[in-house]
Structure 1
Amino acid sequence: MAKLSVNVNKIATLRNSRGGNVPDLIKVASDVERFGAQGITIHPRPDERHIRYQDARDLKKTVKTEFNIEGNPIQKFVDLVLEVGPTQVTLVPDAVDAITSNAGWDTVEHRSFLKDVITTFKKNGIRTSIFVDADVKMIEGAAATGTDRIELYTESYAQKYATGAHGEAVSPFTEVAKIAHSLGLGVNAGHDLSLDNIKFFKENVPYLLEVSIGHALICESLYLGLDNVINMYLNKLK
């Protein structure tokens, strides 16, 4: 079974929209774990428009499952991750003004930079993952950095799946997952995965260890309830 890590950025967005502490991010993360999720993901950005850096420090004290911090490894982010010491850090090449993640790393062009950052994290006992497109060269480039895992950027899968082209949508991910495994890399995935498309993805992408889902899961929970939705995901990931 692939693990479900719930991205709680949208809870922080809702909290920040009114000030104060409603909803309580720490309580929601604890509830998410209680409902069965096997991890909590956050993606702090420099402007702290949703997750604040302090949230990462506070969550470290309460998260009992895997704690995954995503972000662009600028120095401020690197310092935060080293201070907090999460289970996993996922490196994402976000522009400062990006609304959401929209591309994987060019692991060939940025291999030296990524290798240096990954070496620092691994020396501190933090599992590393690189956000990448479903491209064989990028998978091979990731392996050369010394990373533990990759996270497959799945927006293209979600878009094609929605048109009914299910096989065409998933086939690149099936191929690169096999290659990643053969190179000794663990395989994670995330971005635009939902209750509609997650089961087919899980059934057709081998060696899948973990999915990180936030936006769709929280939107679905508005109608169906957070406890119910988390367990619906867990059933589809079996």
Structure 2
Amino acid sequence: MTKLSVNINKIATLRNSRGGNAPNLLQVATDVQEFGANGITIHPRPDERHIRYQDAYDLQSIVTTEYNIEGNPIKKFMDLVLEIKPTQVTLVPDAVDAITSNAGWDTINNQTFLQEVISEFKNAGIRTSIFIDTDLKLIEAAAKTGTDRVELYTEHFAKEYEKGNYEAVKLYTEAAILAHDLGLGINAGHDLNLDNIRFFKQNIPNLDEVSIGHALISESIYLGIQNVVNMYVERLKG
């Protein structure tokens, strides 16, 4: 079964908008795991506009499933991850002022840099994943970095699926097949939601994990977070 990792950045955004501790980020992390999620994802950014660096430390004792920390491997981020030692670190080439992740790694031009960063994380016993587009040359280059997994950047799929262009998933199918053949695990994330997740899962062989935040939290406003987590888990069984 494909694992569901819930990104709780949006919970932190809501909390930070009023100060104080409502909603309680640690309680939400505890609850979504009890509701059936297989992991918790956070993506701290340098300005701490949602997840704060202190949150990353506080979550250490709360996450009893898999703990995934995403981010651009600047020194501050690397120091944080190496100290916490989560289950997985997902490397994302975010600009400092990016609203959200909007591109995968150029694993060809950043080959040496990624090799050095990944080596440091793997030496610390942390599973690594690279956020990446579906270009097969980039998948091939990713395998040479030493990473354990790739995370397919799924915004293009989600937009095309909404238009009724279901053929767009073929790029992801091909990328997943190649990644698996090269010995890489396969994650996916960005704009996956309740409408498209089952179709995506059914067309992506060997899909290890999806990381879902914005859509899941938005859907929970209407349906309730326990219901929504359960709905994702059911769809990922198909």
Range class of TM-score, shorter chain: over 0.9
Letter of the aligned partner of 1:120 in structure 2?
Answer: E
TM-score, normalised by the number of residues in structure 1: 0.99
Letter of the aligned partner of 2:175 in structure 1?
Answer: V
Distance 2:233 2:146 in 1: 30
Distance 2:228 2:84 in 1: 29
Distance 1:97 1:20 in 2: 25
CA drift at 1:45: 0.1
CA drift at 1:61: 1.3
SS at match of 2:222: helix
Distance 1:138 1:29 in 2: 34
Letter of the aligned partner of 2:90 in structure 1?
Answer: T
Letter of the aligned partner of 2:204 in structure 1?
Answer: V
Which residue of structure 1 aligns with residue 128 of structure 2?
128
CA drift at 1:62: 1.2
CA drift at 1:172: 0.2
Which residue of structure 1 aligns with residue 194 of structure 2?
195
CA drift at 1:86: 0.2
CA drift at 1:233: 0.3
- Indicate the percent of aligned positions where both proteins have the same amino acid: 71
SS at match of 2:129: strand
Correspondence 1:151-166 to 2 at 5 A? 151-166=151-166
Q: Which runs of 5+ in 1 are unaligned?
A: none
CA drift at 1:195: 0.1
Which residue of structure 1 aligns with residue 207 of structure 2?
208
Distance 2:104 2:62 in 1: 30
Correspondence 1:71-220 to 2 at 5 A? 71-166=71-166, 168-220=167-219
Q: Which runs of 5+ in 2 are unaligned?
A: none
Distance 1:116 1:200 in 2: 36
| C-alpha distance after superposition, 1:47-78 (max 9, x if no partner) | 00000000000001111000000000000000
Which residue of structure 2 aligns with residue 14 of structure 1?
14
Superposition RMSD on alpha carbons, in Å?
0.4
Question: Number of aligned pairs?
Answer: 237
Correspondence 1:219-238 to 2 at 5 A? 219-238=218-237
